[in-house]
Structure 1
Amino acid sequence: MDRQQELATVRRAYARRLMALAGIANPGIEAAFAAVERERYLGPGPWPILCPAGYVATPDDDPARVYADVLIGIIPERGLNNGMPSYHVPLLASAGIRAGDHVVHIGAGVGYYTAIMARLAGPAGRVTGIEFDAGLAARAATNLSNVGNVQVFQGDGFSMPFDPADVIYVNAGVTHPADIWLDRLKDGGRLILPLTMENIWPPARGAAISHYGVVFRIERAGDEYLAAWISAVALYPCEGGRDDASEARLDAAFQKGGWRRVTRLYRTGDLPDERCWLCGARWALAYD
């Protein structure tokens, strides 16, 4: 068995472990994780792995080192990482990317998860990657240059226009949804929305992650938006997707709890308090 065959075997085992960790059976997602070469997107090793004591470099540059459920630093001095694979598996399953879909990936980073989404969308689909950081956007564009159904743009994913989308996958913490995400979500489309507190990044050692952020799946049904909690999260803050007033409202919502009972997103902020988990100026996450 040559080295490429060995690494393909390592990736298949890695993909199976991720699915087992998430408790999800999804052959398409498993196949995508087994196919996409993580080291291609991270650059040459050794690689900085985030551990409880900080970043620790892998002992060598063997690509097999990156096929574990770990955060790997892409700009370690800023606490910016290639995300934990087991975090993304349930989000990708919830997003339900199908062959032919148009997926918009906000916060594409170095493009690893963008490539996985491209596998799920297939040749008939496409992925629009948007990355705020110019250096990362350039890296992602280079990394994805051989993936024919992906385009990468540098810009503010909170305001940059894009074609109507079947899936909008936000990979940075916001305090509120962007109007353009709700406007450009197709009927039946799914928005993966992480709401987070900025003052907890990077997360404190040993702290309860569920107090910092939550991820919702928002599905458009005509003029209505159905909402469901997916998971807890601590995530790098989204440039342009935060303001002090929204952060204060989000903090109050986390303090009172109840995010798992949310069932709707409304594009109005005048709902009765007893119906709201979180009410913004022109939107709300509510219990019915």
Structure 2
Amino acid sequence: MNTLRYDDATAAEFRNALVDTLIDKKKIISPEVERAFRTVPRHLFVAEGTPLDVTYSVDNSVAIKHASDGVIISSTSAAYIQARMIEQAEIGEGMCVLEIGSGGFNAALLAEVVGPSGWVVSVDIDPEVTDRARELLDATGYGDRVTVVQADAENPLPGLHEPFEPFHAILVTVGAWDLAPAWLKHLAEGGRIVVPLRMNGITRVIAFLREDDHLVSTSAEVAGFVPMQGEGARDERVFLLPDRNGNQVKLRFDGDVPQEMSLLDGALATDRAAVWSGVTINLGVSFADLHLWFAAFLPGFCKVAADEGTDMAAERKDWFPFAAVHGDSFAYLAIRRVPEGGAVEFGAQAYGTHGEDAATAMVEQIQAWDRHGRATEPTFAYWPTGSQLPEFGENTAVMPKTHGIATISWPSAANDAGDQGALQ
């Protein structure tokens, strides 16, 4: 267990092993980020008693604070995405960096990367979080290199002046539904903003660079973050579908909700339909961009969860939490083993009077992704309100936001289907 309130050889051994793994996985690619991760004692920023193997794992986030209902509202992010976000931002010595979402550890990493001639400002809406971050940064020797601010970063930050702004880079370490105009105001010309942007329920950590009157992506990573609080928060809408035994299936919408959701009443009492796509993928290979394709192009897209006791829950290992409402029916992504073994076929299962139609609509998008999206990486753009919008092509999805629009684009044709993104 980690009962250390200081650094020692054992913690350093765990830390160096983590860094070696991050380098091997190409999450760390620069010597500056490597040095920061080998230097900053992550275990001194997490809760006392957190095991060192958990603290220094590649992909475990560590909770800092829970809401009254047990939901995590602040955490130390997984090491792999902290490393990638710093690399995505292309931060270097002497830069001024703004971090939105405090915890202490990431700010200390940033302070190491920018060096004594740079500066880091870390802001969070929660005074308990900022007090804790300030205390830990002071205790670990970074308090004189990081300014911690308690504020809602949706608004321009109070009291900032030279040499703090404009910032060369902004890292948003909470899940954002939109880009606040204040962030762009704080960003220097030629600067990068790295943000976990939620698009119809699917998040990508995107590095954006200014190009004329809008932002274009330079890289993107798959990761999840606790959602933003304050004025920038965006709640999902949840609809409950009861089955004949009183158990429930939950449909969660991040974007537009289909009209007349009441048509789904009684859908779980119908026989389940299934349609298969002929599209296969090897076990152990990620298909994260299929989820993004659904979010972009599948009407009625939502997340789905099933209570224990439902028919869906009994077969949980054969489906994934991505669904779409189609009139009086809904379909969800499913898989089945192919005869040769080592691979599965994608398909859709559905409930409702027209369940087969709903499943067919989802399968058509699986096949479209296989033809046009599977072998190519999507790119992203953000167009603040007032930007001069171009004419978007058919392979670009347009997602309206409060302060602008986000777009996701795939190159126009790719029939060579390569496996992207993982089944376990």
| TM-score normalised per structure 1 | 0.78
CA distance in 2, matches of 1:74, 1:234: 16
CA distance in 1, matches of 2:173, 2:223: 11
Q: Specify the alignment match of 2:152 in structure 1.
A: 156
Q: Specify the alignment match of 1:82 in structure 2.
A: 76
Q: Specify the alignment match of 1:278 in structure 2.
A: 399
Stretches of structure 2 that go unaligned for 5 or more consecutive residues are 1-6, 237-252, 258-291, 299-372, 411-424
CA distance in 2, matches of 1:230, 1:131: 24
Task: Spell out the pairing of 1:12-51 with structure 2 (5 A cutoff).
Answer: 12-45=16-49, 47=50
1:195 maps to amino acid: L
2:379 maps to amino acid: V
User: What count of residue pairs does the alignment treat as equivalent?
Assistant: 258
Q: After the TM superposition, which of the residue ranges 5-14 and 228-237 deviates more from structure 2?
A: 5-14
Q: Specify the alignment match of 1:190 in structure 2.
A: 192
Deviations 1:138-158 (A, max 9, x none): 000111123121010111122
Does the CA contact (< 8 Å) of 2:168 and 2:187 recur in 1? Answer: yes
For 1:73, which of 63, 68, 71 is the aligned residue? Answer: 63
Does the CA contact (< 8 Å) of 2:27 and 2:80 recur in 1? Answer: no
Deviations 1:13-64 (A, max 9, x none): 221112223454221111111110112111421x2xxxxxxxxxx4xxxx56
For 2:205, which of 212, 215, 226 is the aligned residue? Answer: 215
CA distance in 1, matches of 2:385, 2:397: 11
| Percent identity of equivalent pairs | 23
Q: Specify the alignment match of 2:265 in structure 1.
A: none
Deviations 1:193-212 (A, max 9, x none): 212279xxxxxxxxxxxx63
Question: How well do the aligned residues superpose, as a CA RMSD in angstroms?
Answer: 3.1
CA distance in 2, matches of 1:252, 1:243: 22
Q: Specify the alignment match of 1:139 in structure 2.
A: 132
Q: Specify the alignment match of 2:113 in structure 1.
A: 120
The 3-state SS of whatever aligns with 1:174 is coil
For 1:104, which of 76, 98, 103 is the aligned residue? Answer: 98
After superposition, the Cα gap between the structure-2 partners of 1:261 and 1:67, relative to the gap in structure 1 and judged at 3 Å, is: closer
Q: After the TM superposition, which of the residue ranges 97-106 and 259-268 deviates more from structure 2?
A: 259-268
Does the CA contact (< 8 Å) of 1:276 and 1:284 recur in 2? Answer: no
Higher strand share: 2
CA distance in 1, matches of 2:176, 2:28: 27
Does the CA contact (< 8 Å) of 2:97 and 2:169 recur in 1? Answer: yes
Deviation at 1:182, TM superposition (A): 1.1
For 2:233, which of 233, 237, 242 is the aligned residue? Answer: 242
Does the CA contact (< 8 Å) of 2:296 and 2:397 recur in 1? Answer: no
When Rg is computed on C-alpha atoms for both structures, the one with the higher figure is 2
CA distance in 2, matches of 1:196, 1:282: 14
1:87 maps to amino acid: I
Does the CA contact (< 8 Å) of 1:216 and 1:227 recur in 2? Answer: yes
Q: After the TM superposition, which of the residue ranges 266-275 and 131-140 deviates more from structure 2?
A: 266-275
Stretches of structure 1 that go unaligned for 5 or more consecutive residues are 48-57, 199-210
After superposition, the Cα gap between the structure-2 partners of 1:122 and 1:5, relative to the gap in structure 1 and judged at 3 Å, is: same
Does the CA contact (< 8 Å) of 1:253 and 1:278 recur in 2? Answer: no
Deviation at 1:234, TM superposition (A): 2.0
CA distance in 2, matches of 1:131, 1:253: 33
1:283 maps to amino acid: G
Deviation at 1:96, TM superposition (A): 0.9
Deviations 1:212-269 (A, max 9, x none): 3112111124544222441122211111223469952699982427795335322237
The 3-state SS of whatever aligns with 1:177 is coil
1:178 maps to amino acid: A
